[in-house]
């Protein structure tokens, strides 16, 4: 079955409160997706963001981002008065998320809602806490203690609680009891609101493609609460950290800094943590995209403390042992493997053996540093093709930034001639939807024909990423109709 979808992070939705959230605008976006004949809404990871505001560096592999909680929904529950938050400064630029102002103003108003909620008498809340206790207790304690230590990561805490000594754990649970309950409340509201939005989307024929990072952040409840999962020394410091080697896009490589898994330990447990994580994901999403799939074949290990990724090296990952365990537990499940970048024969074999669809990026087809397998005539059915991803430039800006030789190839391939930017963008969209790939996904920025200012992320940079937002009213009925028609033309409805 040929299908298509749109990539738009929740944070990029319009809303009056500084960041996209599970508000009325999210439901309006779903309505437009349905009107446009789309099968999928692809999002970025939903976790609470840490350093650099990246959704791929989250405080938890399980928790949801409190910024996405809809304040209007809390007002409807009687927990807030709209006047209490209408006057707050969440940022003045409707095109950009201001994370500093969000951090300053979001949590106090959420705390006010919590203090009015009387959660001790709420049976649904108590039931949620019991069901999610396997991760929620460690997460709520982690965030409460983190606040106690002025936001520092757990590696900078006092040794007794850093090493989770029983007397310290008991002492901090008592000291931070109310703050822990606040963080439980945030997760309860997040889960309740997300379930409602997902059910609305599913009822209108729209499925959610979720996204999970292969790694967890070092500054996370996961690495603090379960150090045995990772390559830590006796003092629970990383022996090595994750990243990518130097390539044509980055001379120093990418130093992500995530702790590396102790795959021998995971194998001994039957990959129990991964099974638990995926079970949680399939409650949140209809399809799961796993970032950096090649890390399951071989992972790039960088010595802890290195300033760049240049000194790293490749080490063997779990391979099919992990996916055999997942298959034995789940059976056939919809997973997308993010297999971009340099792929060795062993990675290609792992992808084939897993049966998961990989990814193709149309922009790479006309980049002489990539090309090859990304040319449309080399695609297979079992893949998901994108014009670009959250890590790529928008189509409009990408074409302008091509070398003269690459631009000439792209122009000849599509017979572009002398056309406008929007005509050129739509030519690449049609090329993408016209491929044999079973699924085609286009970022919302490309359908809007936006330039470089709408780029979501530029890897290996800090300070200006993850901020772009769509304006309310931009996804018009006229645009939805045009998107639907091109999907119909290429048999994707």
Q: Which of 84, 122, 373, 391 is labelled catalytic?
A: 391
Phi, psi of 48 (to 5 degrees): -65, 130
Place of tokens 């309505």: 31
User: Among residues 210, 203, 162, which one has the least CA distance to residue 62?
Assistant: 210
C-alpha span between 43 and 29 (Å, rounded): 12
Asked if 118 is an active-site residue, the reply is no
Task: Estimate the crossing angle of helix 99-117 against helix 177-203, to 10 degrees.
Answer: 100
Assess contact for 354 and 361: CB atoms under 8 A: no
418 is catalytic: no
Instruction: Please list, in sequence order, all residues whose beta carbon lies within 8 angstroms of the beta carbon of residue 28, skipping any fewer than 6 positions away.
Output: none
Contact 271, 265 (CB under 8 A): no
Q: How far apart are CA 103 and CA 475, in angstroms?
A: 28
Using an 8 Å Cβ cutoff, are 67 and 194 in contact? no
One-letter-per-residue 3-state SS of 358-380: EEEEHHHHCCCCCCHHHCHHHCC
- CA 8, CA 394: separation in Å to the nearest integer? 13
- 297-325: burial string, b at 16+ Cβ within 10 Å, e else: bbbbbbebebeebeebeeeebbbeebbeb
Catalytic residue among 72, 98, 291, 400: 291
Partners of residue 208 on adjacent β-strands: 41
338 is catalytic: yes
CA-closest candidate to residue 395, choices 371, 369, 423, 425: 425
Neighbours of 450 (CB within 10 A): 22
Q: What are the helix (H) ranges across 285-389?
A: 320-330, 345-354, 362-365
Q: Which of 179, 297, 338, 446 is catalytic?
A: 338
How far, in Å, CA of 380 to CA of 366, rounded?
18
Tokens representing residue 49 in the block: 């963001």
Q: Which residues are catalytic?
A: 291, 338, 391
């Amino acid at each position: 079955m040929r299908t298509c979808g749109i990539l738009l992070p929740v944070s990029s939705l319009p809303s009056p409160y500084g960041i996209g959230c599970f508000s009325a605008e999210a439901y309006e976006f779903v309505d437009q997706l349905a009107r446009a004949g789309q099968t999928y809404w692809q999002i970025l990871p939903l976790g609470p963001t840490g350093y650099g505001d990246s959704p791929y560096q989250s405080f938890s592999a399980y928790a949801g981002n409190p910024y996405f909680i809809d304040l209007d929904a809390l007002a409807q529950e009687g927990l807030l008065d709209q006047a209490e938050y209408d006057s707050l400064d969440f940022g003045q630029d409707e095109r950009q998320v201001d994370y500093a102002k969000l951090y300053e103003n979001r949590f106090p108003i959420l705390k006010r809602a919590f203090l009015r909620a009387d959660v001790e008498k709420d049976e649904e809340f108590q039931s949620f806490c019991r069901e999610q206790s396997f991760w929620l207790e460690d997460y709520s304690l982690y965030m409460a203690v983190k606040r106690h230590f002025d936001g520092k990561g757990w590696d900078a805490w006092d040794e007794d609680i850093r090493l989770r000594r029983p007397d310290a754990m008991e002492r901090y649970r008592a000291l931070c009891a109310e703050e822990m309950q606040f963080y439980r409340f945030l997760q309860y509201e997040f889960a309740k609101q997300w379930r409602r939005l997902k059910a609305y989307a599913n009822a209108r024929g729209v499925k959610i493609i979720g996204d999970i990072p292969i790694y967890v952040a070092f500054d996370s409840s996961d690495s603090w609460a379960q150090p045995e999962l990772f390559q830590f020394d006796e003092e629970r410091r990383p022996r090595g950290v994750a990243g990518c080697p130097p390539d044509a896009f980055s001379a120093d490589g990418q130093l992500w800094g995530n702790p590396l898994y102790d795959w021998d330990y995971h194998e001994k447990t039957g990959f129990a943590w991964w099974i638990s994580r995926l079970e949680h994901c399939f409650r949140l999403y209809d399809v799961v995209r796993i970032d950096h799939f090649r890390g399951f074949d071989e992972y790039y290990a960088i010595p802890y403390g290195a300033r760049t990724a240049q000194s790293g090296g490749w080490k063997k990952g779990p391979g099919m042992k992990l996916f055999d365990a997942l298959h034995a537990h789940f059976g056939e499940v919809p997973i997308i493997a993010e297999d971009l970048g340099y792929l060795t024969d062993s990675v290609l074999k792992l992808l084939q053996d897993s049966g998961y669809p990989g990814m193709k990026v149309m922009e790479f087809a006309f980049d002489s540093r990539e090309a090859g397998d990304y040319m449309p005539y080399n695609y297979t059915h079992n893949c998901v093709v994108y014009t670009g991803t959250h890590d790529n430039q928008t189509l409009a800006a990408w074409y302008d930034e091509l070398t003269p030789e690459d631009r000439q190839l792209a122009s000849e391939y599509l017979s572009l001639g002398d056309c406008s930017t929007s005509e050129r963008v739509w030519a690449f969209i049609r090329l993408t939807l016209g491929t044999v790939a079973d699924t085609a996904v286009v970022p919302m920025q490309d359908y809007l024909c936006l330039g470089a200012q709408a780029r979501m992320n530029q890897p290996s940079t800090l300070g200006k990423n993850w901020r772009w937002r769509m304006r309310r009213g931009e996804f018009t009925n006229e645009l939805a109709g045009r998107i639907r028609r091109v999907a119909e033309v290429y048999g994707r409805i």
